[in-house]
Structure 1
Amino acid sequence: MKNITLFLAVSLSFFLFSCGDMNEIQREFEEMEEQVYLGKIDSLKGFQGINSVKLTWYYNADPRIQNTVIYWNLRRDSLVIPVKHTTPGIRKDSVVIEGLSQNSHLFEMRNVNSLGQKSLFSTVTVKAWDLEYYRSKLGARKVSNIGYNFNDLTFKLSTVSEVDGVVYSRLKYKNREGVEVEKIIENNVESLLLSDFAAGEDISIQSLIVPPYFHDSIYTDYEVYKTPYMNFKSSKRKKVLSLADAEGSLFVTTPDRLLQRNPQGQLVAYSLNEAGDQFVQSGILQGDWSEYRCMIYYDPDRIITVHGTTNNLSMHRIQPDRLVHIREFAWRWAHVYFMALNKRLFSTVKNGAMLLWRVDENGKFIPPSPAEKVVARGFNVYPNFISSYQNEGVFSLDETNFLWFYFINAEGEITSSHKMGQSRFTYMLMLDFNGDLLCLDNNGDLWLHPFAPDTSDAYWVFE
């Protein structure tokens, strides 16, 4: 009974003490003035820029708002924007803050008035960029293909999507009078023709870009491309061989010889004389080669043959007086043209696709071969031949007698294509012979055209 009485006494004391504290707290709040908040900034957004940012927000309809204060740099910098209530209701406002370093900046904003009333803060973090740093991350539209003839230069441009942010591109070049010309290229323009370009001069292209979440537009650095100069060295052609039996023959060149599979099935070897101005017969290789429809030189001392009936491919080793069969390694390849460079085998098929395989010197496919890889399309426009050149690429004449060159990198990828020149002669075949072009005409004559390795920027004139 005593315990119960003691418990009640303690509980009553605690209750009276708690009630006393609560009354004190209540009186404290009653003595405080009522806190009045202004309407808060709504929908605050930030947009990146070059050493600047853009802030956008909405005001509510609170007529007591007189100014908006923006703080940044740990509130060491601020900006006051007067608010004019010219129209009722919610309205949008914005400001660009400049002179910022490349960094992420925290912005705090609130509304105030002359009575000392304030709104709650709204905050946003936005990145500002240095111009040269950000420009280094951008790229102009690319020139993906260049073609030229005696008067015109044409080039194709890379396509543009909305996510690229390209507004337009700008092209600069010098015309034949030496006057700088500037052209605006809209995004829907995919190719351009210049009829007044100065041969050998640069053309430059840049793009105006508005990156995502940016308020700034930025010009990229100029991408510079060199226009071709006219190279007439190939006009100094020389006849190096005349053949009465050229029709129905196959031809293949090695570093030191021209091999002709004549209509009789013989494999006849020719070498240049000491003066270097005539091919002379240096031998006939053993065997009957009449069954083959194609022969491809495969560096360093191999030849690949394609059987005319079965379309099977075989690897051979070159000997001075014979081709030694190594093995048959592909079957029923009814492809149109075959060529080889950089220890890679290329072929084209009827739909114009160019395919790539890797084959070792013993006629074995190197993984991931023999799974074919399509490296390009559109090669069905060449009616007579497609030939490899050194280890740089492949070339051919189109139906209008223009020479096209396709640069191929060490991985077997076509990096660019160029319309390299034009001939007034009709050639049925062109082969690479130690960097020069060995060309066969309709009369069975073989002509050697000097062809220096500056193929990337020369327009070759065959006349």
Structure 2
Amino acid sequence: MKKMNKLISIMVSLLAILFFAISCDDMNDIQKEYAEKGEQVYLGKVDSLQSFPGFERTKIVWYIGSDPKIEQTIIYWNMRKDSVVKDFVRTTSGIQKDSIVIENLPEGSMSFEFRNINSKGQTSLYSSLTATMWGKDFAEGLNAREIESRNFDYEQSRYELNLSLTSKGDSVVYSQIVYTDSKGTERTIRIERETNKIELSDFTDGMEFRFRTVFFPPQGIDTVYNEYAVYKAPTAVFEKGTKLSLLGNIQSNYFQRDGKYLYEWNKGGDLIIYALQEDGSFAYTEKYEGIVPRNVYRDFFFYDDDKFIAISTDHKVTMHKITNGKLVSVGNVLGTGFNMSKFLPAKGFFYSVGDYTLKTWFAKNDATWASSNGLTVATNFRYDPCVLFNFKYLIGIDAKGYLHSIPISTTGRLGNEDAIGSGWNRFVKIVSVGEKLLGLDNNGDFYEFDFDATNSYWVLDK
């Protein structure tokens, strides 16, 4: 047994010696292989990369150390499918700055890799950075100036434009307008960021102009332009309106319902209904005598569904409907203290006008308020008379008789204002019924217009 154990011990020792000898041979082979190849030499790598965005391009700046063996820098992008070689010309023995502008790049962000090389096949390790390129989407997303109001003067062939204010950090350099005057000469006007009002001379009705804003965003290398917006002056319409056989009364209040009916609330508190006919005339339909007494209510108008809004003489807001010829209250008093001078019905809300301030009020059909009310949407609102045309545009007449149009949103917000007519101070009231606009003069005569609130300039004083 002892001899067997000794034999096993000797065999294990021999195997260990054999394994060690083989391992030493392998190690010698590896060392020999690397000795034959020689030590790998790397060039100095690109350092301190910075990028500066441009329009569909980028400028990249970097630094190269004192390694004298560097001859070129290769820049890769698009997963190394695209590349460019930049020769490196050393001008100093120390650290040296270099740069490149890479053109025709897609908008967005992209990774770039840099590697120094020389004619001996030596290379550096890779350096990388992510660069940003601007494009059309970026330009359109900048805070461009807007044209807030357009006042066309037909007689003077002049278009007065009011621009939105610039703000700190908006990168606006200037704005630009291009138009062709009545003589066929193209004019380009540069509007500095400090200028908020501009006048286009020799500009006749129906002509167009283009408007855009020019930016120079920080840390960039390019001026950026947003797309031109095209504006057209309204076309002059010389129409006095069609006189209706319907007799009006300047002491009555008039409002529409559903674009089909004209309601008259007269001085006696009667509510008289006229239906709009296909030929544009109005036919008497119904009368509710004394249903809305004037000694109780100072304003009354159709609101929504089958509901009406009333403003009492003690400035309370209430909702009503007409049932079996009687005015029936819906719910409780909506609000108090409504001492504003004027109210304009819209879809699902109404405006109040007081001290030249325009506010929105949203009432539900169960005579309760919506969550947001009393929001000021305009100040210095100086139009009288005024009306909401087809629930899309506020139409108003100023002190000089010019007619103005302001688009509204479903939340009552106002868009950009346009002057769309002159000589409208011949009317003391204006009323909208569907696509018709009615003007009531001091004689109690109604004149009807197939109205367009955007493309026509209504000249009544020629």
Q: Fold match, TM over 0.5? A: yes
**Residue among 99, 104, 124 paired with 1:119:** 124
| 1:291 paired residue number | 296
Equivalence map 1:180-191=2 (5 Å): 180-191=186-197
Q: Report the aligned-residue RMSD.
A: 4.5
Equivalence map 1:7-406=2 (5 Å): 18-19=23-24, 21-45=26-50, 53-71=58-76, 78-98=83-103, 107-124=112-129, 141-150=145-154, 151=156, 152-158=158-164, 167-208=173-214, 217-234=223-240, 241=247, 249-254=251-256, 255-257=260-262, 259-262=264-267, 265-267=268-270, 269=272, 285-287=289-291, 288-298=293-303, 302-317=307-322, 324-329=327-332, 330-336=334-340, 337-350=342-355, 352-360=357-365, 363-365=366-368, 369-373=369-373, 376-382=376-382, 384-406=384-406
How far off its partner does 1:332 sit? 0.9
CA distance in structure 1 between the partners assigned to 2:372 and 2:390 by the alignment: 23
User: What secondary structure is seen at the aligned counterpart in 2 of 1:381?
Assistant: coil
Q: Give yes or no for contact 1:318–1:324 (8 Å, CA) kept in 2.
A: yes
| 1:408 paired residue number | 408
CA distance in structure 2 between the partners assigned to 1:447 and 1:43 by the alignment: 81
1:44-81 C-alpha deviation (Å, 9 max, x unpaired): 35566666554432222323322223345676765332
How far off its partner does 1:40 sit? 1.0
Q: Give unpaired runs (5+ residues) of structure 1.
A: none
Q: 1:457 to 1:250 in 2, by over 3 A?
A: same
User: What secondary structure is seen at the aligned counterpart in 2 of 1:221?
Assistant: coil
Q: 1:61 to 1:389 in 2, by over 3 A?
A: same
Correspondence 1:457 to 2:455: yes
Which amino acid is the alignment partner of residue 116 of structure 2?
Answer: N
CA distance in structure 2 between the partners assigned to 1:324 and 1:171 by the alignment: 56
Which amino acid is the alignment partner of residue 229 of structure 1?
Answer: T
Q: Which moved more, 1:395-404 or 1:176-185?
A: 395-404
CA distance in structure 2 between the partners assigned to 1:74 and 1:272 by the alignment: 71
1:111-137 C-alpha deviation (Å, 9 max, x unpaired): 2233443322334566779x7888888
1:394-433 C-alpha deviation (Å, 9 max, x unpaired): 2333445443322224554433332333437475543335
CA distance in structure 2 between the partners assigned to 1:50 and 1:345 by the alignment: 46
1:344-367 C-alpha deviation (Å, 9 max, x unpaired): 33334557142131433xx534xx
CA distance in structure 1 between the partners assigned to 2:380 and 2:129 by the alignment: 58
CA distance in structure 1 between the partners assigned to 2:349 and 2:294 by the alignment: 24
CA distance in structure 2 between the partners assigned to 1:71 and 1:242 by the alignment: 80
How far off its partner does 1:376 sit? 4.9
Which amino acid is the alignment partner of residue 438 of structure 1?
Answer: G
Which amino acid is the alignment partner of residue 438 of structure 2?
Answer: L
CA distance in structure 1 between the partners assigned to 2:271 and 2:111 by the alignment: 81
| 1:438 paired residue number | 439
CA distance in structure 1 between the partners assigned to 2:285 and 2:19 by the alignment: 125
User: What secondary structure is seen at the aligned counterpart in 2 of 1:233?
Assistant: coil
Q: TM-score, normalised by structure 1?
A: 0.76
Q: Which moved more, 1:171-180 or 1:24-33?
A: 24-33
Q: Give unpaired runs (5+ residues) of structure 2.
A: none
How far off its partner does 1:181 sit? 1.2
Q: Give yes or no for contact 2:55–2:222 (8 Å, CA) kept in 1.
A: yes
CA distance in structure 2 between the partners assigned to 1:302 and 1:46 by the alignment: 63
CA distance in structure 2 between the partners assigned to 1:462 and 1:266 by the alignment: 33
Which amino acid is the alignment partner of residue 454 of structure 2?
Answer: S
